[in-house]
Amino acid sequence: MPEGWFRLDIDPERRERSVDALVDRRFEGTDNMPHIKRQLRQDLLAQAAAAFREGGIELYLSLQQAGPLTIPASLLVTFMPASPNGTTPSLEDVATRLASDGQAEVQVVELAAGTAVRVRRVTGGPGQAPPVGLPGKAEETLPSVTLDYQLPVPETGAHLLMTFSTPLVQIADAMVELFDAVAGSLTWMDGEGIGE
How high is the pLDDT of residue 191? 61
CA dist 29 and 22 (Å) reads: 14
Q: Is the pTM of this model over 0.85?
A: no
CA Rg value for the chain: 18
136, HSE (Cβ side, Cα atoms, 13 Å): 19
* Per-residue pLDDT tens digits for 127-144: 554 444 444 444 456 788
**What is the average pLDDT across 147-166?**
90
